[in-house]
A and B are shown apart, each in its own frame.
Chain A
Amino acid sequence: MSLVIAEEIGKNYQVGEVVIPALRGVSFEIDPSSFVSFIGPSGSGKTTLLNLIGCLDTPTTGRLTVAGADVGKLDRRQGAIFRGANIGFIFQDFNLLPVLTVYENIEYPLLMVQKVASGDRRKRVSALLEAVGMADQKDKYPDQISGGQKQRVAVARALVTNPKLVLADEPTANLDHQTAYMVLDLMKKMRNEFKTTFIFSTHDQKIVGEAEIIYMLEDGELKGKEIKGGKNNG
């Protein structure tokens, strides 16, 4: 069964008296363990679509099902619970909490969202620290590490709860070429290891080149789909 099912979803924003359509009748399905990228120019609706899939917003029209839940029917509290259980987020600006160390940032969702027992928590955080190569930096604060390292921590934080789905909005936009590839490799490795679905919004050709399925968006409409390879080609 598909992990994400979008059926003719639309999203309008009201600016004053003007209604601006950000998405118009978009339909697609994403299978578990996919490495998918939504591409398109600025204003094409990529971020809006990711926000809808991430249950941060609700569609104006159509129906969006994520991990079996109808996103449009979740209230604020249910949305938070659903995101905490099923979705990981990787942000363009990393969005690490500055008062927490690398270790504590990764631990945060287990501690404050899922309330995982300390032994299990330690095991999972340590495993991910090793996996993203940040074990030796675990006691540093975000302002003491580089941008690439921050994004690796963000990847670990997104994966620590074993989510079904990780959403990444322009995850390499603030990284240099080499670091961006390193982070992409890491995400693919994580996908292979944890069978997590990764969905990106980007116009970064590096990601486009690495994605297995590419959806092209333009003016809020889905203009095409390109399937580039199998699920384990990383």
Chain B
Amino acid sequence: MANLFKIAIRNLLRYKRRTLLTASLIMVGVVFVLVFVSVTGSFKNLMIGQITDSMIGHLQVHRKGFVASIETLPLNLNLKGGAIGKLETILNAQPEIETYSPRVKFGGMFSNFTETSSIRLTAIYPEKEFKTVPLLPERVTDGSKDLQTGGILIPELLSRGMKVNPGDAVVIVATNADGSVNGKQFTVTGVMESATGPGGRDGYIHMDDARELLRMDGRQVSEYAVRLKNFDDLAGFSKKLDGLFEKELNQQGKPLFEVHTWDQLSPFANIARMIDVMSLFIKLMLIAIVLISIMNVMIMAVYERIREIGTIAAIGTQPGKILNMFVVEGFCLGIAGALIGNVVGIALVVILNLLKLTYNFGRQEIVLRADIYPFDILVITATVIIVSVIASLQPAFKASRMEPINALRHV
């Protein structure tokens, strides 16, 4: 086998300019894919991180039917008493879960005593919430991040529009599940930006205040935001929870709980999917570049060496070995392009990181930090090598099937 490689490398070096051009083409393809995959991959991960760690959590559990009616934030679909106990027992028993946070979501009216506007509120236990969505405090741009009873974190939109600042008194008016309207005065603890860009109307209050405002009898929960120890386990764990919840039925014999992963709850999941599709197309382009360039070079190589093929066939080289000679040549060309491409690609990504380029996601300015994962390098390299071998097969097969007598006559 070593001799096949020796002959292949020497044949490649025989046509230095052509080999260099082809290897360069493959290299450019590999660099492009590597940089694209690492930059978009990092952007995707950052985006997912922002959404899951500052707002949604990795997954959420609701009473069955809540998500379908989420626009109206129906208090009558909150989990209560026994259901909460059952659910927390199940969640507490899952080793995959790092932490979870119960929330009550409801709509209300926000008043600064002179103006009134609508607001969507999420009632939380701050300690649990900040562990489940650890980037949430970073969204507080003004005031304190420490949410106590009697305090409210208000959206920037209302702060600006109604000229309300931290320390100001405001009133929240909300309708409870029975239809009666209640009000409560709060002190603005902090102003927070929206996780997904301007225009958000989401505020946060303490769970104890929500209980008082909505006059709840006992505990009620609209949703549980769940954080896993390992985000990569999400799909598998979601299925596991689905399985566990199948046994939990309400009095009508219908499922009591439902699980939704972050991508089922956020429209930004479509951007993540688009990035995946774009990466796939870029990889397909790489495959096309490698396939066409290697096949072109190998067809030329076979055509130029017909008499040599005739000679080695005449002196007894078996067709399989002739085939291997040309396949190994394509393989070496692919390896060279992939290796140089990886080195240049990694260097480019390092330079990109050193430049500390910034871009905005929502209201946040994020510094570009492109990560190259060994798995990506492995996949790209393997793709190039496999495609190189496939591209060499047809010319190599043609060479191996040549009749030595005809090949020797070739001028």
Chain A residues engaging chain B, CB cutoff 8 angstroms: 51, 54, 56-57, 76-77, 80-85, 87-89, 91, 93, 95, 97-100, 108-109, 111-114, 157-158, 161
Contacts and interface: CB of A to CB of B under 8 A. Distances in A.
Given A51-B405, A91-B408, A99-B7, A76 B312 contact: no
A153 to B, nearest CB: 13
B14 interface: yes
A91 B14 CA distance: 23
Given A91-B311, A97-B308, A56 B317 contact: no
Contacts of A77: 318-319
Nearest to B313: A80
A83 B14 contact: no
Contact of A84 (B11, B310, B316): B316
13 contacts: A51-B405, A56-B403, A56-B404, A57-B405, A80-B317, A81-B316, A88-B315, A93-B307, A97-B311, A98-B308, A111-B3, A113-B315, A161-B316
Contacts of A99: 7, 10-11, 14
B314 A89 contact: yes
Interface string B382-411: 000000000000000000000111001000
Contacts of B11: 99
Interface in B1-35: 3, 7, 10-11, 14
A98 B315 contact: no
Interface string B316-341: 11110100000000000000000000
A112 B321 contact: yes
A112 B316 CA distance: 9
A112 B317 contact: yes
B316 A109 contact: yes
Chain A CB count within 10 A is highest, among B308, B318, B321, for: B318
Contacts of A84: 315-318
Given A77-B318, A113-B316, A95 B14 contact: no
Interface residues of B, number: 22
Nearest to A157: B315
Given A98-B14, A112-B3, A80 B318 contact: yes
Interface of B: 3, 7, 10-11, 14, 307-308, 310-319, 321, 403-405, 408
B404 A95 contact: no
A84 to B, nearest CB: 2
B204 to A, nearest CB: 73
Contacts of B317: 80, 84, 112-113
Contact of B315 (A76, A89, A93, A100): A89
Nearest to B405: A56
A81 B11 CA distance: 25
A97 B311 CA distance: 8
Nearest to B307: A95
Contacts of B310: 95
A97 B14 contact: no
Contact of B316 (A83, A98, A100): A83
B133 to A, nearest CB: 64
A11 B310 CA distance: 21
Contacts of A80: 313, 316-319
A84 B321 CA distance: 13
Nearest to B404: A56
Contacts of B315: 83-84, 88-89, 108-109, 113, 157-158
Given A80-B313, A89-B314, 7 more contacts: A88-B315, A93-B307, A95-B311, A97-B7, A97-B308, A99-B14, A113-B317
B319 A76 contact: yes
Contacts of B316: 80-85, 87, 109, 113-114, 161
A88 B403 CA distance: 17
A82 to B, nearest CB: 8
Given A95-B307, A98-B14, A56 B314 contact: yes
A111 B316 CA distance: 11
A109 B315 CA distance: 7
A25 to B, nearest CB: 21
A157 B312 CA distance: 11
Contacts of A100: 7, 10
Contacts of A91: 311, 408
Contacts of B408: 56, 91, 95
A109 B310 CA distance: 14
A80 B403 CA distance: 11
